[in-house]
Amino acid sequence: MAFLPTTKKEMDERKWDALDFLFINGDAYIDHPSFGHAVITRLLENEGFRVGIISQPDWKSINDFVVMGRPKYAVLISSGVIDSMVNHYTVNKKKRNKDVYTPGGKSGKRPDRAVTVYSNRVREAFKGITVIIGGIEASLRRFAHYDYWENRIRRSILADSGADLLIYGMGEKPLLDMCRLIKQGAPIESLKHLKGTAYASSTIPENTKGSQIIMPSHKQVSKDKKSYAKAFKIQYENQAMECKNMLVQSNGSIYVVQNPQAEPLTTSEMDRIYALPFERNYHPKYIKTGGVPALKEVKFSITSHRGCPGACAFCALTFHQGRITQKRSQESILAEAQKLAKLQDFKGYIHDIGGPTANFRNVSCAVNKDKNSCGKRYCLHPDACGSLIVDHSEYLELLRKVRALPGIKKVFIRSGIRYDYIMLDKNDEFFNELCEYHISGQLKVAPEHVADRVLKMMNKPSKKIYDRFVKKFYEINQRLGKEQYLVPYLISSHPGSDLKAAVEMAEYLRDIHHTPEQVQDFYPTPGTLSTCMFYTGLDPLTMRGVHVPKNREEKAMQRALLQYRKRENRKLVIKALKKAGREDLIGFGSKCLVKSQGSNPKRQSIKKSVGRIKNGNKRNARNRPDRQ
């Protein structure tokens, strides 16, 4: 199957006089199921619509936007796989010099706040056209939100973009509902009742189903951090599938209205999506610029499921993919593995079979069996829910079947393992086979921190659970005769982490003899619980105060402590230790993190003793009979 049209010439080759939908995207065009634009456009095509893609248009004029003409129904807009601001800037707000979603890895091919900029250009290009926005940038900015890069509260992206409809979360279900109604002749203006969507309204709409919650307005949350925390709590608690509330928030001259969530995809619906005729490659026009780097990591990977019930406080998945696991059938995954094995450049290695968290494919609940998640509590935090059913057997069965396919040499698991879920499993079969077959020397895990008071703010398991996992990991590998290692992923300066907590993490790294190559400072992105804590200094779920490292020097000290062995960090580490009242860690003892200025007194004492022995030996030598 050919790539979808990206130019008028490619439209002419299909003998299309006009498009039904035009998709504007901030990433390069990669026709692979790991990329949202590919999934959405192939799904539209499968529904019988004519759809074209314009990737990374030059936003400084309308020229690139009009190359395929005005579409019949609407323009769909996404910034790409990640938020455009995160794509452009480091946590220190410095410009990144690479963009793996762009041909040749070149940066600067999309604007800041791409969804808003693209929307405004489309309005200029096609007067009166229907604009529908989606993807992670739109999804996480659907209400008034804290913007880290400007350090202020911005209005809903609906207010800034002027879009007619926002599809939040993974958008296939609302999109299919919309398409089917369009086929029946319904005007797009009449589709604002669809689940999984949000829209702008000049008045508070009448709500005939469920209940309606009026949240604190943009004006209120901009002036008062407690109001911001309250508004966030309402949004957060209404992410559960059983919540049927309509949320409304005033944003200047408009009201932002969010309909309840769309129903999760069924297994058959998931199978249909991943069976679509993807080219599994970037568009040929990118060959001359070296291709698109982002494809390399995922080209031979398979998505087995979506959603993550882990609900880590710093993760945007809660507000985007959601906490409900939606999985594909084994047959669907095996069929995709067989497709990979037939690709010309496939070397026999499947890089991943997983999702947001690989071993969450079958998280299930004894109470909410059809939804496997609820709004009453977390599945795993602060400890495992009594209704949680822990079972790796089906995932293990799947991995065994894929390993046995002709042409498959190795199946890796790279999408992350939730170690506390593994430790809850009374059957060690999965853990044993993970170590034996699915790791290549190193397994990356994400304890994130070691101080329990910080882990609590992160919604992560306690350190003792991680310690048990580490112990068992090395025991299994020793029994298998394998030399494999854990690489912990750590976050510095997360809300709740003070210098004492950072020192605690440094001591842990000292004890395990590990120096992280990279340390990630906490990055406040829209739509996360941790970002709300960062801005307000409050835990919105309890309204209790939280220490937030915002001072540049404190953040630098926390980061330096995690890499205390680096010579360039020495001064900062000493300053941090003094400020934390831990000068006992400065010196020459075995537990010290850095040496104090001057010579080691023990070494000097040893030198003196050696000197005395040498001098004594010289005198003895002079007095020996053979020296007479």
CA angle at residue 306 from 212 to 457, to 5 degrees?
Answer: 70
Give the percent of the chain with pLDDT over 70: 92
Mean pLDDT value across residues 274-291: 95
The pLDDT score that the predictor gives to residue 623 is 43
d(CA 240, CA 231): 16
For residues 468-490, average pLDDT? 95
Class of domain 444-597: alpha beta
Strands 388-389 and 364-365: what pairing? antiparallel
Do domains 8-199 and 444-597 share one topology? The answer is: no
Q: Tokens 């509590």 identify what position? A: 377
Mean pLDDT of the chain: 91
CA torsion sign, 356 to 361 to 365 to 368?
Answer: positive
pTM: 0.91
Q: What's at 307, amino acid-wise?
A: G
Enter the tokens of residue 216: 């604190």
Q: Could you report the per-residue pLDDT of 559-587, keeping only the tens digit for each?
A: 999 999 999 999 999 999 999 999 999 99
pLDDT digits (tens, 9 = 90+) for 125-184: 999 999 999 999 999 999 999 999 999 999 999 999 999 999 998 889 999 898 888 888
Residue 610 has pLDDT above 50, yes or no: no
Which residues, listed in sequence order, are joined to residue 250 by a DSSP beta bridge?
255
Residue with more model confidence, 180 or 29? 29
Residue 538, classed as helix, strand or coil, is: strand
* Residue 436 pLDDT exceeds 80: yes
Torsion (CA) 327, 329, 333, 334 in degrees, nearest 10: 160
Amino acid occupying residue 358: A
Least confident among 246-250, 267-271, 457-461, 612-616: 612-616
pLDDT value at position 36?
A: 94
Specify the pLDDT at position 598. 62
How far is it, in rounded angstroms, from Cα 304 to Cα 301?
Answer: 10
What pLDDT, on a 0 to 100 scale, did the predictor assign at position 622? 43
Residue ranges of domains in the chain: 8-199, 444-597
Tell me the pairing of strands 246-251 and 254-258.
antiparallel
H or E element at residue 464: helix 463-480
Q: Residue 615: is its pLDDT beyond 70?
A: no
CA distances (Å), origin 606, targets 353, 596, 614, 615: 57, 18, 12, 14
pLDDT value, residue 372: 58
Secondary structure string (H, E, C) spanning 252-303: CCEEEEECCCCCCCCHHHHHHHHCCCCCCEECHHHHHHCCCCHHHHHCCEEE
> Which whole number is the average pLDDT over 525-539?
96
Pairwise CA distance, residues 540 & 526, whole Å: 15
The dihedrals phi and psi of 509, each to the nearest 5 degrees, come to -65, -35
- At residue 599, the pLDDT reads 54
Give the per-residue pLDDT at 624: 39
pLDDT at 210: 64
Task: Give 226 or 375, the one with higher predicted confidence.
Answer: 226
CB 262 within 8 A of CB 173: yes
What stretch of H or E contains 235? helix 225-237
pLDDT computed for residue 374 by the predictor: 66
Band of pLDDT at residue 619, cut at 50, 70 and 90: very low
Q: Cα(221)–Cα(232) distance, rounded to whole angstroms?
A: 10
Q: Are 556 and 501 in contact (CB under 8 A)?
A: no
DSSP 359: G
Q: How confident is the model at residue 384 (pLDDT cuts 50, 70, 90)?
A: confident
Tens digit of pLDDT for each residue in 289-346? 999 999 998 999 999 999 888 889 999 888 888 788 899 999 999 999 999 999 999 9
* Amino acid identity at 583: E
- AA letter at 344: Q
Q: Please answer whether residues 365 and 379 qualify as being in contact, where contact means their C-beta atoms are separated by less than 8 angstroms.
A: yes
What contacts 325, CB < 8 A, 6 or more positions away?
305, 306, 307, 308, 309, 355, 360, 361, 362, 363, 372, 373
Query: Higher model confidence: residue 316 or residue 471?
Result: 471
DSSP secondary structure letters along 107-136 = S-SS-TTHHHHHHHHHHHHSTT--EEE-HH
Chain length of the chain = 628
Q: Is the pLDDT of residue 626 over 60?
A: no
CA distance 389 to 327: 16
Mean per-residue pLDDT, 225-252: 90
What are 614's two structure tokens? 């040498």
- Quick one: tokens of 596? 């104090």
Using one digit for the tens of pLDDT, what is the confidence trace for 34-57? 999 999 999 999 999 999 999 999
210, 225 in Cβ contact below 8 A? no
CATH number, domain 8-199, options 1.20.1250, 3.40.50, 3.30.70, 3.40.630: 3.40.50
**pLDDT the model gives residue 388:** 85
Average pLDDT over residues 50-74: 97
Residue 621: is its pLDDT beyond 50? no
Q: What is the mean pLDDT of residues 377-385?
A: 80
Give the type of residue at 494. Answer: H
Dist CA 78 CA 96 (whole Å): 20
* 73-82, 186-195, 507-516, 564-573, range with the lowest pLDDT: 186-195
Which residue in 161, 82, 121, 176 sits closest to 527, CA to CA? 82
Tokens describing residue 569? 């960090």
475: CB partners within 8 A, 6+ apart? none
Which pLDDT belongs to residue 185?
84
Task: Tell me what percent of the residues of the chain surpass a pLDDT of 90.
Answer: 78
Write down the pLDDT at residue 565. Answer: 94
